[in-house]
Structure 1
């Protein structure tokens, strides 16, 4: 039927015959509220690969298994990293061809971060919820880099993570002079390892009950140590270039591996080898907090005191000079100033 009436001078519109073009934007819900996902399961993020997340469902439970997940649309701006405790919905069976969805991240207890360089304020989250950092450095081949180790320590102290240090390849060189740089850092526990003797049991005892992130320069033997601690890890190992003295990157991604030892179980988080570690995000006040006795004296320092050797009226420097901080006061002040100068000069 036409909407024109031939007997009328003016046409009339028959609204019943008008076809409305759908407007997708107008039909969208106006609210930003999302489902509560009360049925979400808590899972540990074990690794990330090209937008897909390997998660551990029912950790330590009778139905523990891994599954593959993607992120929900509302989390597109949320960093999801190894070590995160994620809220997962959908098909969490882990069967071939299934894909679950991460809809939320539980509150993190710690964040190990780095920046591209020292002037970059944009932080890169390395790992979440770790409570220990194990720094691996070689006594030789490649030569140890105290400043890089300092940067690792600063990042750990800023994140509230306990630092450990393993010196490998001690059969090639004596690490005594290198280790002298760190004798004033009480928070640091040190292990040494040679080709024929690796302190696996001692290191393993420190891993039990903890989530430990392994960091180190390429070629220092980090992957070899990880494989010794977690035999099923099968992390690729490499060699040092004889011309450049640099190691080849063998670990291409960050991954969580379960450690099982006589002392208990824990998590080893292996990271790719790096040659730099930016500190653009660090709060220098957190460095001083690691030296509790010095921090107490620093309360008497003038406002804005850097605690560096040229700082006027620094209470810590005066206390050390007067012998009020004991025999190790000078060594501890030297360690503090070295870390602060590394950050200040960054």
Structure 2
């Protein structure tokens, strides 16, 4: 009898349930992953994940026992096998560690399936051009809703300030207290670097707004492709085709934060976000709704909403309530119209 077996007793697949239905697991003794290496997923391409493991770039696949469990950029994972990063080597992801934050979206607002975009980020940088293409507040509003729902700190990053005055757009969001940075083509990025330092920031925005240009300037060896805006449609073409996590250069070999460049998007469904989750991001407004009728969504047409009572009594800034309700309304605008 030959001794060449597909798996040895230390291999995770050895402990997996056979493919034929109705059979029992081969053993109840599951392997321990205490000695497994820990890595961070930095990009995914056709089912293969690139991880950073102790500074080495390691190619890995999901182990079969993970089943349909999604692995996304930003995930911290346990990995076994060849983690040397040598050419042609392949490791396996055997566990996904608990996520501290999850940025989600749905394909549409009536889609029950949530898609995890990025895990373990701390900040959502919404990149918007002030011109070429013209800013579209629909996506900004939706991105803010997603950030507040995911407990990510929002940041407005306005590009191409050499083409238009940022004040017009900033006045729309100032009452929400959203921080912002303004950049222009060929200008210095010190303010943006300061806002990104020490954070794991997701860069999100329409195609053509300058995300890849910013990434290439922040991380000189990133090599992200830069596209042009279509003169007929006024929209950019997709240049980044997959999310990519990159270290921001810092002192020595230590990164001064991380950025995650995402592909340009045309829609951002919010079927998973509930009004009670959104208002929790605004502590002052949340306190004013404690006596709202049960099921109140805090929209402008809700009877006896605590926000309206506070407005009548002069207890809250009207612009802040209007801006918050605009975010609520953004949940009902078809995402493909953004």
TM-score by length of 1: 0.86
Contact 1:204 1:261 in 2 (8 A): no
Contact 2:125 2:157 in 1 (8 A): yes
Give the match's secondary structure for 1:167.
strand
| CA distance in structure 2 between the aligned counterparts of 1:52 and 1:254, rounded to whole angstroms | 13
Other-structure match for 1:194: 184
1:190-227, Cα deviation, whole Å (9 max, x unpaired):
111122424x1111122222111000000000111111
For structure 1, list consecutive stretches of 5 or more residues without a partner in the other structure: 1-22, 59-63
| CA distance in structure 2 between the aligned counterparts of 1:68 and 1:45, rounded to whole angstroms | 10
Contact 1:166 1:190 in 2 (8 A): yes
Q: What RMSD, in angstroms, separates the aligned Cα atoms of the two structures?
A: 2.0
| CA distance in structure 1 between the aligned counterparts of 2:35 and 2:306, rounded to whole angstroms | 56
With over 3 angstroms needed to count, the CA separation of the structure-2 counterparts of 1:330 and 1:29, relative to structure 1, is: closer
Cα shift at 1:321: 2.6
Which residues of 2 match residues 76-115 of structure 1 at below 5 A? Answer: 76-115=67-106
Q: 2:129 aligns with which of 115, 135, 138?
A: 138
Which residues of 2 match residues 241-320 of structure 1 at below 5 A? Answer: 241-261=230-250, 265-320=256-311
With over 3 angstroms needed to count, the CA separation of the structure-2 counterparts of 1:29 and 1:309, relative to structure 1, is: closer
Give the match's secondary structure for 1:213.
strand
Q: Is 2:49 the counterpart of 1:53?
A: yes
| CA distance in structure 1 between the aligned counterparts of 2:24 and 2:110, rounded to whole angstroms | 43
Give the match's secondary structure for 2:212.
helix
Other-structure match for 2:14: none
Which residues of 2 match residues 136-175 of structure 1 at below 5 A? Answer: 136-175=127-166
Q: 1:232 aligns with which of 221, 225, 235?
A: 221
| CA distance in structure 1 between the aligned counterparts of 2:239 and 2:113, rounded to whole angstroms | 26
Contact 2:247 2:255 in 1 (8 A): no
Is 134-143 or 301-310 further displaced after alignment? 301-310
Larger radius of gyration: 1
| CA distance in structure 1 between the aligned counterparts of 2:157 and 2:91, rounded to whole angstroms | 38
Aligned pairs, how many?
314
For structure 2, list consecutive stretches of 5 or more residues without a partner in the other structure: 1-17
Give the match's secondary structure for 2:324.
helix
Other-structure match for 2:167: 176
With over 3 angstroms needed to count, the CA separation of the structure-2 counterparts of 1:113 and 1:32, relative to structure 1, is: farther
Other-structure match for 1:332: 320
Cα shift at 1:24: 10
Other-structure match for 2:11: none
TM-score by length of 2: 0.88
Other-structure match for 2:196: 207
